């Protein structure tokens, strides 16, 4: 299984990854387009809008990542932060 | 007295036999005990099945009900899965401790009164600490001590509440209540500490990742989920739980996103998942309680599966950080596939157990017109996929080629992972297997085309967000401060400062008081002392004549005063 660049696992080859992106994009598009044919019940109005799940999922992830990133500026510490002041460990 | 044999005692007995036996016989007890326990769990009828008189109280060590059996079942199944996963790798005392810990969880499940509940609760606290210690590193030793302090403190708070309820109401029954007075608040807080609710959520991500690769599988299952059961039994519909649950859901996601250690990511996602359940208990409708119970059942399976997958990686490579791992799918395909199944299940992908159970909670929020809760849970579902569903498998099994070429998991670890993977999918494809055993009749259809489409959009576009935002998620060699900073650093600093202050205060007092005492002593020496060159006035020996004279004078004085 040890490999040089040419013989890397098929899943790790750039060509495969490019293809995967195409497939993934097609699936994404399909899930949105499918809403033309499939009725999504909205409990609060907005969640029944066309493509709401897609937009909401994407935006909430964006918000969470950015929020975590921002919080990280204040909360991130070196790995041995606790060990440094602790003779016991 | 006893109509049935207590399942918890079978588990306890098995744990003792694990310690007493060796070799194949021990393996037999490791694998057999949970199965016998499972059988015993299903022998327990509804209602109180055993009573014992203790002091003036009627103790009900076994009380059956659908939700109690459901939790005891999953605890027994989990003990089997964990035992299978661990029996060739873990030390015997880790297995024994884990089984006593499981016995505690099963005991709590059937506890009909608060005293029994408390006893098993503490049994869990003690032996889960031992499991943490079985990590056998300086880090696990310290984390175990912090863990024990937190849980014993929680136990004391719970005990205060139980005492209060017993004294003020005279009832020791486990029955629904609301947090309306001091006693019930204490019980609620005691339970919430075990559920890893804020502000002490940090104990979980502090302790679990320090345990051994096998120990964390057991730890992930019992403590928080018995707390969920206790909430279902004691505080259904308690409004404060909705807010606490939502906070936990978001806290788990944000911290998991910042984290580098694989098992710590999974630990944060336990808090996140338990948040869903706590929120559901707070909503408190039949649909919500069903959702909480079903989700707990499904969660134990896929979370243990994820910890197994992570544990196999750590067991084979010795690394636990995203920055050290990557590309392991090449040589650990089975571990990778099982990890991905667990990741899909936790994200609630259609056809997995997460979808059929978690969506019940969202449905309950929608039925109650709780718009904010509903949208928060939907955002959280997307977030779960982000932090656990993709992040975990991506950074461990794909990402970059770390150059590591470990062997795949040992056969028993693989068997346990396959077992749990199958269960995750079976419960997703045949949800009635679990719906039929929920506390209330289920009026819910998970697989409608609209619902599936909505969640597919939600999850797949979260996936898109993950890969587009990958540069922002580059792992760093850091940890994130949490509320445990308050007691690990701030409290320590205050204690150190306090110690220095009081020590210097003591020294200055000593010099001052010491000076005063010295002067006093010198004066006393002057009057009473006999060792000076000239003895003190009270220490001298006086001639008899002088004494007689003074007595005569005193007597005369006395007579005069008396006569006058």
The pLDDT tens digits for B325-358 are 988 998 999 999 999 999 999 999 999 999 999 9
The pLDDT tens digits for B506-533 are 999 989 888 889 899 888 888 887 776 7
Q: Give the span between the Cα atoms of B62 and B48, in whole angstroms.
A: 6
The pLDDT tens digits for B356-387 are 999 999 999 999 999 999 999 999 999 999 88
| Residue B435, SS3 per DSSP | helix
Global pTM value: 0.88
C-alpha distances out from residue B442 to A62, B293, B363, B433, Å: 35, 12, 12, 12
Q: Are residues B28 and B80 in the same domain?
A: yes
How many domains in chain B?
Answer: 3
Q: Give the span between the Cα atoms of B435 and B357, in whole angstroms.
A: 9
Q: Give the span between the Cα atoms of B353 and B294, in whole angstroms.
A: 9
Q: Is residue B144 part of a domain?
A: yes
Q: Is residue B262 part of a domain?
A: yes
- Taking an 8 Å cut-off on Cβ atoms, the answer to whether A72 and B258 are in contact is yes
Q: Are residues B141 and B192 in the same domain?
A: yes
Q: Give the span between the Cα atoms of B523 and B541, in whole angstroms.
A: 19
Q: Is residue B140 part of a domain?
A: yes
- Is the distance from CB of B325 to CB of B262 less than 8 angstroms? yes
Element (H, E) at B478: strand B478-480
B374 touches A at CB < 8 Å: yes
Q: Are residues B399 and B509 in the same domain?
A: no
C-alpha distances out from residue B24 to B19, B29, B88, B400, Å: 13, 9, 11, 42
Q: Give the span between the Cα atoms of B497 and A84, in whole angstroms.
A: 18
Domain boundary among B438, B470, B502: B470
Nearest CB among B250, B451, B466 relative to A61 is that of B466
Which residue range(s) make up the domain with A68?
A: 40-89
B443 touches A at CB < 8 Å: no
Give the closest-approach CA distance of A13 to chain B in angstroms. Answer: 12
The pLDDT tens digits for A28-55 are 999 988 888 888 888 888 888 888 999 9
C-alpha distances out from residue B473 to B75, B164, B399, Å: 35, 49, 12
Q: Are residues B411 and B538 in the same domain?
A: no
| Residue B48, SS3 per DSSP | strand
The pLDDT tens digits for B166-224 are 999 988 999 999 999 999 999 999 999 999 998 999 999 999 999 999 999 999 999 99
Q: Are residues B255 and B134 in the same domain?
A: no
Which residue range(s) make up the domain with B146?
A: 1-235
Give the number of residues written for chain A: 89
Q: Are residues B222 and B340 in the same domain?
A: no
Q: Is residue B67 very low, low, confident or very high in pLDDT (cuts 50, 70, 90)?
A: very high
Domain boundary among B235, B267, B299: B235
Query: What does the block give as tokens for B75?
Result: 């605890």
Q: Is residue B484 part of a domain?
A: no
Residue in B428, B406, B438 with CA at minimum distance from that of residue B298? B428
Q: Are residues A30 and A45 in the same domain?
A: no
Nearest CB among B258, B330, B488 relative to A1 is that of B330
- Is the distance from CB of B120 to CB of B68 less than 8 angstroms? no
Chain A, nearest residue to B480 by Cα: A76
Domain boundary among B470, B503, B531: B470
Q: Are residues B214 and B264 in the same domain?
A: no
Q: Are residues B74 and B165 in the same domain?
A: yes
Q: Are residues B425 and B514 in the same domain?
A: no
Q: Are residues A44 and A87 in the same domain?
A: yes
Q: Are residues A72 and A88 in the same domain?
A: yes
Give the DSSP per-residue string, B421-433.
HHHHHHHHH-THH
B462 touches A at CB < 8 Å: yes
Q: Give the span between the Cα atoms of B107 and B190, in whole angstroms.
A: 17
Q: Are residues B188 and B336 in the same domain?
A: no
B477 touches A at CB < 8 Å: yes
Tell me B113's DSSP state.
Answer: B
Residue in B382, B347, B228 with CA at minimum distance from that of residue B294? B228
Please give the angle made by the CA atoms of B182, B184 and B185, to the nearest 5 degrees. Answer: 60
Q: Give the span between the Cα atoms of B248 and B273, in whole angstroms.
A: 8
Neighbouring residues of B538: CB distance < 8 A, sequence distance ≥ 6: B527, B528
């Amino acid at each position: 299984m040890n490999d040089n660049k040419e013989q890397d696992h098929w899943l790790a080859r750039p060509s495969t990854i490019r293809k995967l992106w195409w497939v993934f994009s097609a699936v994404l598009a399909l899930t949105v387009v499918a809403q033309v044919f499939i009725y999504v019940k909205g409990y609060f109005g907005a969640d029944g809008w066309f493509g709401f799940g897609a937009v909401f999922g994407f935006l909430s992830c964006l918000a969470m990542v950015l929020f975590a990133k921002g919080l990280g500026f204040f909360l991130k510490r070196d790995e041995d932060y606790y060990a440094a002041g602790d003779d016991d460990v | 007295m006893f109509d049935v044999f207590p399942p918890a005692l079978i588990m306890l007995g098995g744990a003792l036999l694990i310690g007493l036996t060796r070799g194949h016989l021990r393996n037999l007890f490791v694998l057999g005990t949970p199965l016998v326990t499972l059988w015993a769990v299903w022998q327990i009828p509804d209602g109180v099945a055993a009573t014992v008189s203790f002091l003036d109280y009627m103790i009900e060590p076994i009380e059956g009900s659908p939700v109690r059996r459901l939790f005891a079942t999953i605890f027994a199944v989990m003990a089997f899965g964990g035992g299978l996963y661990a029996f060739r790798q873990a030390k015997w005392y880790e297995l024994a401790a884990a089984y006593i810990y499981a016995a505690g969880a099963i005991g709590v499940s059937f506890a009909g009164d608060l005293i029994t509940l408390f006893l098993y609760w503490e049994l869990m606290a003690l032996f889960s600490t031992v499991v943490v210690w079985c990590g056998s590193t300086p880090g696990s030793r310290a984390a175990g001590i912090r863990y024990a302090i937190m849980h014993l403190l929680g136990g004391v708070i719970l005990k205060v509440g139980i005492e209060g309820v017993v004294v003020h109401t005279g009832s020791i029954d486990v029955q629904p209540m609301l947090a309306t007075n001091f006693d019930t608040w204490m019980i609620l807080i005691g339970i919430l500490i075990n559920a890893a609710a804020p502000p002490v959520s940090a104990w979980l991500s502090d302790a679990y990742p320090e345990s051994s690769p096998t120990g964390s599988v057991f730890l992930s299952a019992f403590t928080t989920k018995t707390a969920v059961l206790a909430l279902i039994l004691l505080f259904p519909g308690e409004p404060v739980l909705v807010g606490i649950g939502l906070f936990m859901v978001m806290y788990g996601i944000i911290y998991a996103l910042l984290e580098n250690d694989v098992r710590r990511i999974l630990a944060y996602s336990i808090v996140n998942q338990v948040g869903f359940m706590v929120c559901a208990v707070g909503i408190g409708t039949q649909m919500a309680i069903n959702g909480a119970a079903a989700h707990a059942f499904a969660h134990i399976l896929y979370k243990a599966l994820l910890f197994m997958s992570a544990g196999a990686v750590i067991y084979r490579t010795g690394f636990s950080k995203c920055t050290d791992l990557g590309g392991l799918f090449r040589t650990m395909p089975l571990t990778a596939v099982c990890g991905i199944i667990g990741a899909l299940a936790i994200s609630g992908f259609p056809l997995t157990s997460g979808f059929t159970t978690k969506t019940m909670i969202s449905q309950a929020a929608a039925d109650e017109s709780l718009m904010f809760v509903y949208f928060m849970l939907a955002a959280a579902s997307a977030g779960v996929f982000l932090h656990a569903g993709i992040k975990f498998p991506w950074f461990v099994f794909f990402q970059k080629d770390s150059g590591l070429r470990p062997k795949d998991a040992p056969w028993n670890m693989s068997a346990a992972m396959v077992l749990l993977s199958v269960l995750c999918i079976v419960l997703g494809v045949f949800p009635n297997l679990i719906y039929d055993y929920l506390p209330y009749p289920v009026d819910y259809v998970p697989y409608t085309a609209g619902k599936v489409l909505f969640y597919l959009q939600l999850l797949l576009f979260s996936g898109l967000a993950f890969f587009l935002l990958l540069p922002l998620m580059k792992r760093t060699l850091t940890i994130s401060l949490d509320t445990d900073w308050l007691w690990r650093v701030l409290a320590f600093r205050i204690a150190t400062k306090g110690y220095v202050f009081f020590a210097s205060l003591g020294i200055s007092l000593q010099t001052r008081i010491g000076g005063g005492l010295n002067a006093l002593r010198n004066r006393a020496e002057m009057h009473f002392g006999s060792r000076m060159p000239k003895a003190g006035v009270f220490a001298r020996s006086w001639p008899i004549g002088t004494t007689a004279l003074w007595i005569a004078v005193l007597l005369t004085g006395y007579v005069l005063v008396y006569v006058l």
